[in-house]
Amino acid sequence: MSVVDRIKEYILLGRLAPGDPMPTENELSEQLDVSRSRIREAMKTLSALDIVEVRHGYGTYVGRLSLTAMVESLAFRGLLNAHDDQDVMADLIDVRQLIETALAELIIERATPEVMAAMRQLTGTMHEKAEIGREFLDEDREFHMLLMQTTGNALAVQLTGAFWDVHSIALGALPGRTDLAQTADVHVAVLDAIGASDGALLRDAIVRHYAPIRERIGRRTPPGATGK
């Protein structure tokens, strides 16, 4: 087992949480019976993965365990060339649609009037911007973040935010343009399905939401992606 894996095991077995202090290099060196230089190199790797956070002058702490490293890797891959860009976007759309359709019933069950009102306001802004030909990526992102926050699934929320960061980078390289009015309309359809407490209708609305971007990518909806 590598030193990196042994430190990760130490964090898990010790039930350390994000923000908890890590032992010093000397302490870890003694506990794991490896040299300080190997501990130092392992910490650099874990820091790059956001598993630990080095606060100069204060020490090392368990990191936020965010998806930052994954986002940066995907974004870089997406920027390499147009072909990769479309592949990355297609994969992201597949996963985003799968997550949202799989959680459809949970969204319906847990959506509160306050969240619904906030999302309605976002769709109103989308339509206003669509009428004057303005993109509304910020509102679109916030809409889907609220959708996932409704479920209480922290990983789904984090994944959605991470995927959106890549989405915003890759979108500009795709051929064609998105019909803004149609995009705003399908967000309203998502809300209407939630309001009707109809899981099948919500899944259909989610699939229709991603259809225009799939057309720009030139990739068909994967079998079974509707969640039915």
Beta-sheet pairing, 59-62 with 52-55: antiparallel
Task: Determine the pLDDT at residue 83.
Answer: 53
Reported for 220-224, long-range contacts at CB under 8 A and 24+ positions apart, including other chains, are 221/97, 222/94
Q: Where in the chain is the domain with CATH 1.10.10.10?
A: 3-62
Under 8 Å between Cβ of 22 and 8: no
- Interatomic CA distance for residues 165 and 75, integer angstroms: 8
pLDDT, one tens digit per residue, over 168-193 is: 776 666 666 778 899 999 999 999 99
Q: Where in the chain is the domain with CATH 1.20.120.530?
A: 68-217
Task: Determine the pLDDT at residue 79.
Answer: 57
pTM of the model: 0.70
DSSP letter for 161, please.
H
For residue 173 the two structure tokens come to 């390289």
What's at 171, amino acid-wise? L
Name the 3-class secondary structure at 60: strand
Sign of CA dihedral 9, 60, 39, 65: positive
Does the domain at 68-217 match CATH 1.20.120.530? Answer given as: yes
Q: What number does CATH give the domain 3-62?
A: 1.10.10.10
- Interatomic CA distance for residues 216 and 105, integer angstroms: 29
- Residue 155 pLDDT class (50, 70, 90 cuts): confident
- Interatomic CA distance for residues 163 and 101, integer angstroms: 16
Rounded mean pLDDT, 38-55: 90
